[in-house]
Amino acid sequence: MNRSIWAWVRVLGGVGILAVLLWRLGTGAFVDGLRVIDGPALVAAFAIGVATTVFSAWRWCLVARGLGMTLSLRGAIADYYKALFINAALPGGVLGDVDRAVQHGREEGDVGKSVRAVVLERTAGQVVLVSVGVTVLLTVPSPVLSHLEAHARGIAVAAATTAGLAALLFFAFSRLRGGASRWARAARTGAAEVRSGLLARRSWPGIVLASTVVLAGHLATFVVAARAAGSDASLLRLAPLMLLALLAMTLPVNVGGWGPREGVTAWAFGAAGLSATQGLTIAVVYGLFAFVAALPGLVVIIARALAGARARSATRAATRAVAAAPAVEAITYARPVAIPAQMIVLPVRELVGSGA
């Protein structure tokens, strides 16, 4: 029950944000997002999407192999495209990741470990995004930096409180690992999988590289969207605004990725002295680019559905052929009859006595 309520809260939250944007800014920004897209921009966004998907799939392979699972890069790319399309087409934005985790787990015979591998893979990307985003937002002039400077004391208190809570959680986690309860075993398992899946020497350089390339690809897609929407702002001015929008996309309140991204981008562009309407248009264009980049996932879904249908058809045909084959009658062999030795000896004697 709680899960269904939370799912509805996530969807309604995204719908509410979009409704407020429509009420305050009108439908013009959404219509402009469809109108300004041209062929070259679409091709560029699609090519960037290919690169980010390949590196995301490679990161997944590194994490899964670190946990002792087998996952080919080719299969990971197909599954990642499928997940991206499901995330973009369905509310929630995480159903595709759940699907690839469960499917891979069924193939490997360990759904739980597969789910944890996907969680670790996504977490690695979020850690790089948050690290780069916080660094840029704290150093590059932007509306966020202005707000931080204006409320420095309150932010310092919040940061100290957060650090204290983090230290408390770390201490509690350390104490928990030493127990014998189910939670203690789960904590030890989680810590071991973080070490082997993310922090192992053979894995973490590739994971960091892949996450950095993926983040750079998302920022490049935002730049293409901004230029398509007519923005001529410098990259230095756009960088903190785009990172803020990417951070907003991590919020679990959206409809297929739509909602927080559009709201934060409109606010950030308006607060930066640019047009809020243009910021919303850029976010809409980015969302459309992301959807087009995920379309190969639809091809994967259709191809696998057709392959499954062909396999089931072949199985049914083989079953019908076996049922229609004529029954082969069993051959019954006569049992050998034992003849007493006496019956054989007597005729021989008669033949000898007759001179034959």
The predicted-structure confidence for 60-77, as pLDDT tens digits, reads as follows 999 999 999 999 999 999
pLDDT classification of 347: cutoffs 50, 70, 90: very low
Amino acid at 241: L
Q: How far apart are CA 15 and CA 67, in angstroms?
A: 38
Model pLDDT, residue 291: 94
* CA-based nearest residue to 68, from 207, 192, 231, 188: 192
DSSP result, 46-106: HHHHHHHHHHHHHHHHHHHHHTT----HHHHHHHHHHHHHHHHHSTTS-HHHHHHHHHHHH
Model pLDDT, residue 166: 79
Q: How far apart are CA 170 and CA 82, in angstroms?
A: 36
Residue 92's CB is within 10 A of a number of other CB atoms, namely 21
Mean pLDDT computed over every residue of the chain: 85
Whether 349 shows a pLDDT value over 50: the answer reads: no
Give burial (CB, 10 Å; 0-12/13-18/19+) of 313: exposed
Residue 147 corresponds to which tokens in the numbers above?
A: 């707000």
Q: Higher confidence at residue 181 or residue 250?
A: 250
Which residue's entry shows tokens 């229609």?
Answer: 324
Residue pair 42/176 in contact by the 8 Å Cβ criterion? no
Residues 312-325, mean pLDDT to the nearest whole number: 83
Whether 341 shows a pLDDT value over 60: the answer reads: no
Whether 337 shows a pLDDT value over 60: the answer reads: no
Phi, psi of 258 (to 5 degrees): -95, 140
Q: How far apart are CA 121 and CA 203, in angstroms?
A: 11
Residue 181's CB is within 10 A of a number of other CB atoms, namely 9
Q: How far apart are CA 146 and CA 149, in angstroms?
A: 5
Planar angle of CA 175, 181, 187, nearest 5 degrees: 55
pLDDT per residue as tens digits for the range 135-145: 999 898 888 88
pLDDT per residue as tens digits for the range 274-290: 889 999 999 999 999 99
* CA-based nearest residue to 228, from 3, 58, 55, 37: 37
Q: How far apart are CA 222 and CA 220, in angstroms?
A: 5
Model pLDDT, residue 130: 94
Model pLDDT, residue 253: 79
Whether 292 shows a pLDDT value over 60: the answer reads: yes
In this prediction the pTM is: 0.82
Residue 253 corresponds to which tokens in the numbers above?
A: 């309140």
Residues 183-202, mean pLDDT to the nearest whole number: 84
Residue 216's CB is within 10 A of a number of other CB atoms, namely 15
Residue pair 259/18 in contact by the 8 Å Cβ criterion? yes
Whether 123 shows a pLDDT value over 70: the answer reads: yes
Whether 317 shows a pLDDT value over 90: the answer reads: no
